[in-house]
Structure 1
Amino acid sequence: MSLIGSGFLTIFSFVFLISIVVVIHELGHYWAGRFCGVHAEAFSMGFGPTLVSWRDKRGTVWRVAAFPVGGYVKFLGDAGAASEPDADKLAQLRQQMGEAADRCYHFKPIWQRAFITAAGPIANFILAIVIFSGIAMTFGSQPYQLPIVGSVVEGGAGEEAGFEVGDRITAINGNRIDTFQDIITEVVWRPGEELRFEIVRDDTAMVIMAAPRGQREEDRFGGTRTLGRIGLGSVEGSALQDRYNPIEAVGQGIDRTWSVVSMTARYVSRVVTGRASAELLNGPVGIVTAAGQTASTSIEAGDSAGESVFLLLVNLINLAAFLSVGLGLVNLLPIPILDGGHLVYYAYEAVARRPLSMQAQALGFRVGLVFVLGLMLVATWNDLNYLLGQIF
Structure 2
Amino acid sequence: MHLLETLFYTFVALGVLVTIHEFGHFWVARRCGVKVERFSIGFGTPIVRWRDKFDTEFVIAVLPLGGYVKMVDARDGNVADEDLPYAFSSKSVWRRIAIVSAGPLANFALAIVAFWMIFLSGEVGVKPIVGDVELGSDAQQAGFESGMTIVSVAGRPTPSWGDLSKLLFGYIGDTGSISFQVALPDSSLTADLDVPIERWLREATDPIPLRELGITPAYELQALDLAMIEPDSAADRAGLMAGDTVTQVNGEPIERVDIFIEEISRNAGQTVVFQILRGEAQTTIEVIPDFVDRNGEQVGQIGVQLAPRGKYPDAAVFHIQHGVFSAMKRSWDETADYSVFIVKSLGKLLTGDLSPKNLSGPITIAKVAGDSGRAGFDNFIRFVAILSIMLGVMNLMPIPVLDGGHLVYFMVEVVKGSPVSDSAQIAGYKVGFVMLVGLMLVATFNDLTRAFL
TM-score normalised to structure 2 length: 0.70
Distance 2:118 2:402 in 1: 31
Distance 1:207 1:34, change over 3 A: farther
Distance 2:321 2:355 in 1: 38
Q: Which has the larger radius of gyration?
A: 2
Distance 2:34 2:109 in 1: 22
**Which structure's residues are more often helix, by fraction?**
1
Q: Which residue of structure 2 aligns with residue 332 of structure 1?
A: 396
Matched, 1:208 2:167: no
Q: Which residue of structure 2 aligns with residue 272 of structure 1?
A: 350
RMSD: 3.0
Aligned residues with identical type, % of pairs = 34
Q: Which residue of structure 2 aligns with residue 82 of structure 1?
A: none
Q: Which residue of structure 2 aligns with residue 308 of structure 1?
A: none
Deviations along 1:163-201, one digit per CA (max 9) or x if unpaired, are 5674744234x7653323322233358555335435367
Q: Which residue of structure 1 aligns with residue 3 of structure 2?
A: 7
Verify the 8 A CA contact 1:215 1:227 in the aligned structure 2.
no
List gaps (5 residues or longer) in structure 1: 79-84, 218-223, 299-310
Verify the 8 A CA contact 2:25 2:69 in the aligned structure 1.
yes
Matches within 5 A, 1:249-268: 249-268=327-346
Matched, 1:122 2:105: yes
Distance 1:76 1:215 in 2: 47
**Which structure's residues are more often strand, by fraction?**
2
Deviations along 1:187-233, one digit per CA (max 9) or x if unpaired, are 3585553354353678788573533965999xxxxxx9443322235
Distance 2:181 2:119 in 1: 29
Q: Which residue of structure 1 aligns with residue 91 of structure 2?
A: 108
* Equivalent position SS for 2:34: coil
C-alpha displacement of 1:43: 0.4
Distance 2:100 2:202 in 1: 41
Matched, 1:197 2:179: yes
Distance 1:205 1:341, change over 3 A: farther
* Equivalent position SS for 2:125: coil
Q: Which residue of structure 1 aligns with residue 28 of structure 2?
A: 32
Distance 2:343 2:164 in 1: 17
Verify the 8 A CA contact 1:331 1:338 in the aligned structure 2.
yes
Distance 1:185 1:352 in 2: 41
Distance 2:182 2:4 in 1: 51
Verify the 8 A CA contact 1:169 1:197 in the aligned structure 2.
no
Residues paired across the two proteins, number: 349
C-alpha displacement of 1:158: 2.2
List gaps (5 residues or longer) in structure 2: 219-312
Matched, 1:171 2:168: no
* Higher relative contact order (Cα pairs below 8 Å, separated by 6+ residues): 1
Q: Which residue of structure 2 aligns with residue 186 of structure 1?
A: 167
Distance 1:175 1:30 in 2: 41
C-alpha displacement of 1:294: 3.0
What amino acid is aligned across from residue 269 of structure 1 in structure 2? G
Q: Which residue of structure 2 aligns with residue 220 of structure 1?
A: none
* Equivalent position SS for 1:74: strand
Distance 1:169 1:113 in 2: 47
- Counterpart pick for 2:125 among 137, 143, 146: 143
What amino acid is aligned across from residue 128 of structure 1 in structure 2? A
Deviations along 1:238-278, one digit per CA (max 9) or x if unpaired, are 24223211111111111111121111110111101212112
Matched, 1:72 2:57: no
Deviations along 1:136-166, one digit per CA (max 9) or x if unpaired, are 112x112321x46566433212233455674
What amino acid is aligned across from residue 153 of structure 1 in structure 2? E
